[in-house]
Amino acid sequence: MSEQSNGHKAPVPSSTLILTITFDQMTGHVNVTGPIENGLVCYGMLECAKDALRAHAAQKLSGQRILPATAVPFLKQ
């Protein structure tokens, strides 16, 4: 199995597709590298990324819920 480098981490298997999106905050330019010639794969990867972001946000929020005082046993009145 041949490997490629993603430029950031250890080499990854050649079966792994890498889609990189960079955004320059100063200029507003966006640069995309990866399998952009295959739109279906690229859009699919973006959808998976959106799902991962939603799951991360939900997980982050689940640990920060505000409970009413009646739901906390030692605060029951």
Confidence of residue 64 (pLDDT cuts 50, 70, 90): low
5-56 tens-digit pLDDT = 555 567 888 888 888 999 999 999 999 999 899 999 899 889 988 988 888 8
Q: Look at residue 48 and give its three-state secondary structure.
A: helix
Radius of gyration of the chain (CA): 21
Q: Which residue has the tokens 């890498």?
A: 18
* pLDDT at position 76: 46
pTM: 0.57
Residue type present at position 38: N
